[in-house]
A and B are shown apart, each in its own frame.
Chain A
Amino acid sequence: MFKRMTVGCVAVLAAVAAAPAAAGSADFVQVQSRAFAESPAKARALLKNLPQQPAPKVNVLSASIASDGSIVTRCESQTNPAYGAWLEELRDTARQER
């Protein structure tokens, strides 16, 4: 585990030595493992706030029968259900923050 010390305004995170080598193969190298500042839970929470969100729309292709009997298709769109759920979640978060 890492040890946190405070010196003035700066915390010092002491590095953690890598575990002993588990293999002795030629391609094995020793590296320094460095503990990160975030707690494991907080580190994993980082993965909840990504630059991605559900696409808002889904394209829908419809068909109709033309007077000559041929089929003509036409594009429409509808809300992506996943986007609606995501928006609702955002609103919930905003409500909680208020």
Chain B
Amino acid sequence: MIRRLLQSVVLVLAGAPLVHAAPSIALTSGATRSFNLAGNALSDAFFFDAPADAAQLRFSISGGTDVDLLVRYGSEFPGTGPGDVLSISYLSEGAHYWAISAENSELITIGRYNVKPVRAGRWYIVVLNFASTPSTTSITVTASGAEAGALPVNVVFDDSRSDGAGACSTSEWNDSTPRPAAGGNTGTTLGQQRRNAVLEAARVLSTQLRSPVPVRIKACWDNLCDDPSTPGSDTLRCTANGAVLASAGPRSIFLRATRMIRDDDGSLAVAGFGSAPFLPRAQTFYTGTPTTKLAGAASCALIGGPCDSTYEARITFNNQIGQATVLGGRNWWYGFVPQPPPATETDFLSTGLHELTHGMGFVSLINIADQNRPIGAKLQGYDDIYAANVVSVGEDQSVRPFTSITDAQRATALTSFTGLRWSGVEATTSVDNGRRDDPPPDNLVTLFAPNPVQPGSTLSHVTGTGVSAGLMLPSITGAPRTLGIAGAMLGELGWSSANTIVTTDSLPRPSLYFDRTRDNHGISFGRVTGNIYYMLFYTYDAAGNPEWYLASGPVVDGVFLASTDPSGLSLLRVKFRPGQTPETSVDVAASGQVRLDFNQAQFAPACNDGVARSSASPLAVMTWSLGNDVNKNWCMESILPSGPGTVATPNFTGAWNSVQSGWGFDLASFRAGGNNLLSGLLFYPDANGDGRWALFSSATPTTPTTLSLIQRNGYCRTCPTPSPAASDQSAGTITLNLVTPTTDRGAPNRANLTITYRGPSGGTFVRDVPIALLTEPAAQQ
């Protein structure tokens, strides 16, 4: 339940009548329950208590309409409590797993290797009905000791529908030309042998990867001699001595990062299913194939489409191979074993295996080919999980994470011949790594890094130096049939079945936070009570005038999920209306959205921008939208010092207010240089009731202490930082009589202030009242 307890800072959000009972229907393993679900509605009535010995959980639903399934471990879904605006968008942000295909049934299967692994405890379930008609729905949860078995690979041969990835001919799979059995392939027609060879490639992959979630691969043929960038240029790609054989790749990539959008109706919104919480490394792209294992669901269930036309990967073979003018007229060899010497045909199976291995995620998204972007640039600024496993080894044997260096440094590493290494432990210690016992970094698997870069080959292949390279060499001679070291490397790309080590999310540190690239803007963030946090965003409008916004809500899985008001907004511009009831209202047109994500923020583009940031501070990504600014990401860090000797006693840090609406102040008290220091931000309304702020500080605070209030004018949130960044002017005084940091409104804390807004609207604001902490005392947070 989210209770809005910002009783009197600036607005009062009253609780609503209780209409919701806590999840009340316990499911037992393997027992199906049926129920009626109204149209355009959901049920959060079900839960399942997993036993400690369970290794796998299967959640399945089936309905008469397009019903969908959300699952969460450990605590109820946020936003489902009494008084909450029951928003699917908000609720989905708390889902650990989801299945939202366009089908009438859904399935989620998870193991001990998932981000939220199978373990003893309560699993909460939400069933959604997006249809307008009611659905009789059944639900089953099954706990078992089953470990993930061989990856089911389903190859679909006869789907020639357009999919945006080029033509797809399927008649080649049905070629009835008689063929003698060859190399263990007993198909009696050309079409059968082609199918058999692809199925054999799928079988080999299946035995080397483990997952309970099937992968669907679309298999096609096309004239790949026709260069898609220059149609009709067959001779460029196919000659008597060379030809394109096949192409393949994952269909999709996934990212775990807050994303905000402007809805079709123009409103600012958080993309409810816009972040993939099931990915272990935040702010990092994963390919769609291993994502199915990590998400416990097929791609169609993750992205909402029909399942019969959604694939994890596609492979296309060149139907021109065998033509007299192409590759010397050499045809495909469809045998399961390599063609006996002298091998004159092109090995179909190793071609398929190599390409499908790329399709399983063995590919980096670092730019090595696009001349319109720097070589070494990340895709949209984000890490990818392949590159996250790579290090750059210098001539001096220094080791640097490949994703933490600059584009130019990555470009250099890409052509270093031996300086590009795989750092993942699974591959490094694999028996397929013949150098695993060498001292580091010599024990790291070497990746292909020729000079100049070879687009398509550089980085996403191994060199074979000291390893069982198997299929994933940049150039293949012969007809390998094993993944070699690539098998262990795929594990580190999301296919691993190693048990997840569960860590407890630590609560965010209450503090003032700011982004070093946005100096003079910032937030105050603290806990009000329980799991309800308060955030105040102090910033400037387009003209550089000080203004502020307010948010409150829970921290869920390390993310501050600011709760929404009835208009669906979470970052609120508050209007003070003295004499009216209530005295404050939300300016909907000026309000927006905010999230604060403390998970692995160091990987986010906003925090990985080359700006030196304090390693002592936890970082957070603040994603916000206001007005025309949508989905802006700032890298936030605490302003307050941390560590021994930095805590002031008594510690007055926190948000303070009175019982009167419309104003308050945030204090930071700390020790530095052996002195107690005090600084604060006063929030108050101007003559129009619009929120303004001013600064005050003291290097020698006394009790009471009278301090000057300084109005600081700055620059707009998305403008380049000017020089100087801000200008100050005196705006009044505040006298603080702080005795004890407490939320007790009977305590003798008091503030007396007079401030005049130095801006177009003007206005003088005067208060002399008792005050208390709105947030919990810092010592308790």
Contact = CB atoms under 8 A, between A and B. Distances in A.
Chain A interface SS verdict (over half) = mixed
A41 to B, nearest CB: 8
Nearest to A46: B272
Interface in A59-76: 59-66, 69-76
A81 B274 contact: no
Interface residues on B, range: 35 or more
A33 to B, nearest CB: 4
B246 A61 contact: yes
Given A30-B35, A59-B247, A73 B565 contact: no
User: Lowest 3 CB-CB distances: which A-B pairs, in order?
Assistant: A76-B456, A77-B456, A33-B38
Interface stretch (B129-137, B149-157, B433-441): B129-137
B673 interface: no
B421 interface: no
28 contacts: A9-B585, A12-B19, A18-B35, A18-B38, A19-B134, A28-B33, A29-B25, A31-B36, A33-B41, A33-B42, A36-B87, A36-B91, A38-B88, A40-B130, A43-B40, A46-B271, A46-B272, A52-B255, A55-B249, A62-B242, A62-B244, A72-B477, A75-B354, A75-B358, A75-B457, A78-B456, A81-B166, A82-B165
Given A55-B249, A59-B355, A75-B457, 16 more contacts: A10-B14, A11-B85, A25-B34, A36-B88, A36-B91, A46-B271, A54-B252, A54-B253, A55-B252, A59-B249, A59-B456, A62-B237, A63-B327, A69-B342, A70-B343, A80-B249
Contacts of B363: 57, 59
Given A52-B254, A63-B242, A97-B630, A37 B302 contact: no
Interface in B738-778: none
Contacts of A28: 33-35
Contact of B43 (A12, A32, A45, A53): A32
B699 interface: no
B311 to A, nearest CB: 12
Interface string B434-475: 000000000000000000001111001100000000000011
Interface string B568-588: 100000000000001001100
A55 B354 CA distance: 18
A37 B90 CA distance: 10
A18 B355 CA distance: 51
Interface of A: 4, 6-16, 18-23, 25, 27-38, 40, 42-47, 49-66, 69-82, 85, 97
Interface in B603-647: 628, 630
Contact of B354 (A23, A73, A80): A73
Interface of B: 4, 11-17, 19-21, 25, 31-38, 40-46, 80, 83, 85-89, 91-92, 100, 128-130, 132, 134, 136, 138, 163-166, 224, 228-229, 237, 241-257, 259, 261-265, 271-276, 287-288, 299, 302-304, 327-328, 330, 342-347, 350-351, 354-355, 358-359, 363, 365, 368-370, 379, 454-457, 460-461, 474-477, 565-566, 568, 582, 585-586, 628, 630
B273 A27 contact: no
A55 B288 contact: yes
B274 A49 contact: yes
A42 B85 contact: no
Nearest to B472: A75
Contacts of B271: 46, 49-50
A90 to B, nearest CB: 10
A57 B249 contact: yes
Contacts of A35: 38, 40-41, 86
Chain B interface SS verdict (over half) = loop
A47 B304 contact: yes
Output the residue of B37, B350, B630 with the most chain A CB within 10 A: B37
Given A47-B273, A49-B274, A64 B241 contact: yes
Contact of A34 (B86, B253, B287, B461): B86
Contacts of B566: 4, 6, 9-11
Nearest to A8: B14
B568 A34 contact: no
A31 B138 CA distance: 12
Contacts of A20: 36
A6 to B, nearest CB: 6
A18 B327 contact: no
B97 to A, nearest CB: 13
Given A31-B36, A55-B252, A15 B19 contact: yes
B87 A58 contact: no
Contacts of B477: 66, 70-72
A49 to B, nearest CB: 4
A60 B363 CA distance: 12
A50 B304 contact: yes
B244 A33 contact: no
B323 to A, nearest CB: 13
B144 to A, nearest CB: 20
A67 to B, nearest CB: 10
A78 B247 contact: yes
Nearest to A96: B262
A79 to B, nearest CB: 8
Contact of B229 (A11, A43, A78): A78
Nearest to A86: B164
A96 B12 CA distance: 37
Contacts of B243: 62-63
Contacts of A61: 244-247, 351, 354-355
A44 B288 CA distance: 22
Contacts of A78: 228-229, 247, 456
A37 B568 contact: yes
Given A75-B460, A85-B164, A7 B40 contact: no
B342 A56 contact: no
Given A10-B15, A78-B228, A80-B249, A34 B43 contact: yes
Output the residue of B237, B257, B456, B457 with the most chain A CB within 10 A: B456
Contacts of A38: 87-89
Contacts of A27: 31-34, 138
A10 B475 CA distance: 64
A34 B83 contact: no
B584 to A, nearest CB: 9
B628 to A, nearest CB: 7
Contact of B244 (A44, A57, A60, A80): A60
B476 A72 contact: yes
